Structure 1
Amino acid sequence: MTGADGNSANARFAEEIRDWLADNLVGEFAQLRGLGGPGREHEAYEERLAWDRHLAAAGWTCLGWPREYGGRAATLEQQVIFHQEYARANAPARVSHIGEELLGPTLMAFGTDAQKRRFLPGIKAVRELWCQGYSEPGAGSDLAAVSTTARLDGDGWSINGQKVWTSLAHVADWCFVVARTEPGSKRHHGLSYLLVPMKQPGVQVRPILQLTETSEFNEVFFDNARTSADLVVGAVGDGWRIAMGTLTFERGVSTLGQQIGFARELQEIVELAERNGAASDPVIRDKLTRAWIGLRVMRAHAARTLANVDAGTGAGEASVAKLLWANWHRGLGELAMEVLGAPGLLAADAPENGRLSELQRLYLFSRADTIYGGSNEVQRNILAERVLGLPREARP
């Protein structure tokens, strides 16, 4: 929607969101402002889950989904507006984003009618939470190298193998798992995309202790775990295509809201530099300026990428976006430590709040930004091979 009428409608939509957040981020929910997110998923988890369900009851989840699936059929512009207003209100990080932003769109694009009826309402209402079973110890970001197997046994699949770096697996009800269903197959051939219940004897979840002293990532072990024969998304053996479809949904409109969070972190570092005198150092002042410019570049690229996605054009821009924000945010963590100076090397003696300050946690967690969600190496290979047409990297 463009033009004067579209601008007016978008302004009303933004006002509606601001008013609702102002009216609802009160009472018990007021204490949740700014909590959660990468490296901080442990913060007030049950309370944030209750907030997510409160959002769902008011119709503020799955905005871009078609109305037939319970969404509001919001335009791309409206979805961006929602994420921006949500971030500006410092509302708590969502706990249901994997189901809402990844699996839900995947099912709408590739799932059967029965799968849509079974799972989409639970995602919309935040009754069922999901995790993503992609990475493995021997595969890393190379999804085609997965070795987890699934064998059709009677009326269901028997699944064996291990996944790692599985975000929020310890609280998930279901996992979408890429597994090898054709014995002896290689690379992206013979893979299938399965929907697997997590609450069963054949699934073991082990939290991974991170540098941030939190454990939102997990190892997941499947030992003859079971799922129904009909819980394959797409055709058996077509899992690579479905998995790639999921990844296209991973870098959506929420990126602009994410950047408001980044801007808040940068502002905190700038204010600290002004308080402790670091801003008088011309090198640090230059780095702060460059960080501000980098944030503006990210925003411009994200807006262009989303416009191209909406128009059905563009190639490789999601990979460029991932490289931009991951490298910028990792650099921001390093800049935070420079501004903190020597005190940044010491952990605080405040166990009730965790021993790390917010900026220390930013530095430690952002070390992983260039790895998770598709490593820098993988993104550069995508750009080289699929956009520039360069020869494929040699693979074993």
Structure 2
Amino acid sequence: MMDAKAMEGQDFRQEVRAWLKASFPPSLTGVSGLVFQSDAHAAAASPDYQLWRRRMQEKGWGVPHWPSRYGGADMDEAGIRILAEEMTAIGAFNPIRSFGTMMLGPTLLEYGNEEQKREHLPPIAGHERRWCQGFSEPGAGSDLASLQTRCVDMGDHWLVSGQKIWTSGADQADWCFALVRTDTSRKQGGISFLLIDMKSPGVEARPIVLISGSTHFCEVFFNDVKVPKGNLVGEVNQGWTIAKRLLQFERNSLSEVKAEITSLAPLAHRHVGTDALGRIDNPDLRARMIRNAMRHEAYMATVRRFGQESKGGAETPISALKNLWSEIIQQRSELLVELLGSNGLGWSGDAYAEDELEATRAWLHSKAFSIYGGSYEVQNNITAKRTLGLPA
């Protein structure tokens, strides 16, 4: 006999299923919710996308685990899992997903004061305020703690001067959460966490054109930018601790994959051909495609297992998962370009179909997966120390 809790779960699942059926626009089925994914970009301009975003915002389901006073739905882990499963089942995605929901929001919930939470979290939950991440600098990449952007206490405000690089979406962002140096005598201990209005005088964002043709990365200049004292998150010189926590949230979001990967088999049959048994007519390519698909299935099973274990207090090895996922996607991108043959070399022009051009762009963009959110080598070091307990 089903217990009361299980019955509540089944009732909620039916509620979610009915709401999604009535609310999710069929035209958006299969669109990626990933930030900067091309199909999401194209869909974002459509009325259906805006409608879907508005409906999710009204339910608070874009950030279901957040408190309702900040725009969430006060949903427990069981409800969040049911919502994710039902969305995946119909090819739906979260239109509220952003740097604000993935990184800054969870960080503010832990370290922000009440005024900061009430000012920034509701606009994030409603996708009304876009954020960018001001961490890396021309001389501070993997060694982020060597950053030099200065933040001087001017009594009634902070004065920020310096440069950030590889700042995703900075030219479109409303605000920036940035690491700044408030003490030059210490390295990690001299960094603070600051919220900066991108419309402030002295802020300049310049897009960087990448080899993939994308321009979502920017370099950002802060030229004597005045920032209110209340925009400091946490204490002065506590920024490194806060940043490490934020990066955990970022890596967690990069490793949590909710949607299944589309099989490459139909494309391979079309471009490579089939043998007498109907198999992809290239044994080596076929074996590598199968291996990649198996790794993906094993990864998804591992994520689900860690999700269950985390309920008992077990720590999830986020860095290891992030590296595994990066490898899987990079290998898949290589396979896709390979099976397209000469059609996978397209840069532009009518000689190539749009999906072929997108495959080339995706392959080039995938090279960044093992860099952003902490490089592959840095993640391996974290895994070695924190998960395996190896000496430094």
Q: With structure 1 as the length reference, what TM-score do the two structures score?
A: 0.86
State the 1:6 CA deviation.
Answer: 4.5
Q: How far does the alpha carbon of each residue in 1:3-49 deviate from its partner, in whole angstroms, 9 at most, with x for none?
A: 855554444444433433332333xx836851663442642444456
Partner of 1:21: 20
Contact 2:178–2:195 at 8 Å: present in 1 too? yes
Contact 2:71–2:126 at 8 Å: present in 1 too? no
Is the partner of 1:157 in helix, strand or coil? strand
Partner of 1:136: 137
Is the partner of 2:75 in helix, strand or coil? coil
The 2-side partners of 1:355 and 1:69 are apart by 39
State the 1:194 CA deviation.
Answer: 0.6
The 2-side partners of 1:337 and 1:183 are apart by 47
Partner of 1:328: 328
Pair 289,318 (structure 1): closer, same or farther in 2 beyond 3 Å: same
The 1-side partners of 2:32 and 2:300 are apart by 23
The 2-side partners of 1:19 and 1:251 are apart by 32
Contact 1:83–1:254 at 8 Å: present in 2 too? no
Q: How far does the alpha carbon of each residue in 1:219-253 deviate from its partner, in whole angstroms, 9 at most, with x for none?
A: 11111122211211111101111111112222447
Q: Which letter does structure 2 place at the counterpart of 1:306?
A: G
- Which residue, 251, 266, 288 being the options, matches 1:271? 266
Is the partner of 2:320 in helix, strand or coil? helix
Q: How far does the alpha carbon of each residue in 1:354-391 deviate from its partner, in whole angstroms, 9 at most, with x for none?
A: 69533222212111111111110110111223334444
Moved more, 89-98 or 69-78: 89-98
1:147 paired to 2:148? yes
Partner of 1:347: 347
Q: How far does the alpha carbon of each residue in 1:52-75 deviate from its partner, in whole angstroms, 9 at most, with x for none?
A: 334212322210113343322222
Partner of 1:236: 236
Q: Which letter does structure 2 place at the counterpart of 1:34?
A: V
Is the partner of 1:175 in helix, strand or coil? strand
Q: How far does the alpha carbon of each residue in 1:147-179 deviate from its partner, in whole angstroms, 9 at most, with x for none?
A: 111111131111111112222222211111011
Q: How far does the alpha carbon of each residue in 1:233-287 deviate from its partner, in whole angstroms, 9 at most, with x for none?
A: 111101111111112222447854x3524x12xx1x2111122316121111111
Q: Which letter does structure 2 place at the counterpart of 1:358?
A: E
Q: Which letter does structure 2 place at the counterpart of 1:145?
A: S
Partner of 1:283: 284
The 2-side partners of 1:351 and 1:21 are apart by 40
1:67 paired to 2:68? yes
Pair 208,22 (structure 1): closer, same or farther in 2 beyond 3 Å: farther
Pair 184,53 (structure 1): closer, same or farther in 2 beyond 3 Å: farther
Q: How far does the alpha carbon of each residue in 1:106-141 deviate from its partner, in whole angstroms, 9 at most, with x for none?
A: 111111111112212222222212111111221113
The 2-side partners of 1:73 and 1:198 are apart by 31
Alignment of 1:250-329 (within 5 A): 250-252=250-252, 255-256=255-256, 258-261=257-260, 263-264=261-262, 267=263, 269-276=264-271, 277=273, 279-314=280-315, 317-329=317-329
Q: How many residues align?
A: 381
Contact 1:130–1:174 at 8 Å: present in 2 too? yes
Partner of 1:371: 371
The 2-side partners of 1:184 and 1:313 are apart by 38
Contact 2:255–2:318 at 8 Å: present in 1 too? no
State the 1:93 CA deviation.
Answer: 6.3
The 1-side partners of 2:29 and 2:5 are apart by 33
The 2-side partners of 1:130 and 1:246 are apart by 14
Contact 2:330–2:366 at 8 Å: present in 1 too? yes
The 2-side partners of 1:192 and 1:353 are apart by 48
Contact 1:84–1:260 at 8 Å: present in 2 too? no
Q: Which letter does structure 2 place at the counterpart of 1:272?
A: L
Is the partner of 1:34 in helix, strand or coil? coil
Partner of 2:170: 169
Structure 2 gap segments, 5+ residues each: 275-279
Partner of 2:160: 159
Contact 1:99–1:130 at 8 Å: present in 2 too? yes
Is the partner of 1:223 in helix, strand or coil? strand
Q: Which letter does structure 2 place at the counterpart of 1:273?
A: A
Alignment of 1:89-100 (within 5 A): 89-91=90-92, 94=95, 96-100=97-101
Partner of 1:104: 105
Q: With structure 2 as the length reference, what TM-score do the two structures score?
A: 0.87
Contact 1:212–1:365 at 8 Å: present in 2 too? yes
Contact 1:35–1:43 at 8 Å: present in 2 too? no
Q: Which letter does structure 2 place at the counterpart of 1:128?
A: R
CA RMSD of aligned residues (A): 2.8
Pair 355,389 (structure 1): closer, same or farther in 2 beyond 3 Å: closer
The 2-side partners of 1:185 and 1:129 are apart by 32
Q: Which letter does structure 2 place at the counterpart of 1:19?
A: A
Pair 199,46 (structure 1): closer, same or farther in 2 beyond 3 Å: farther
Is the partner of 2:195 in helix, strand or coil? strand
The 2-side partners of 1:203 and 1:195 are apart by 13
The 2-side partners of 1:127 and 1:248 are apart by 24
Pair 283,240 (structure 1): closer, same or farther in 2 beyond 3 Å: same
The 1-side partners of 2:94 and 2:318 are apart by 22
Pair 352,346 (structure 1): closer, same or farther in 2 beyond 3 Å: closer
The 2-side partners of 1:230 and 1:290 are apart by 52
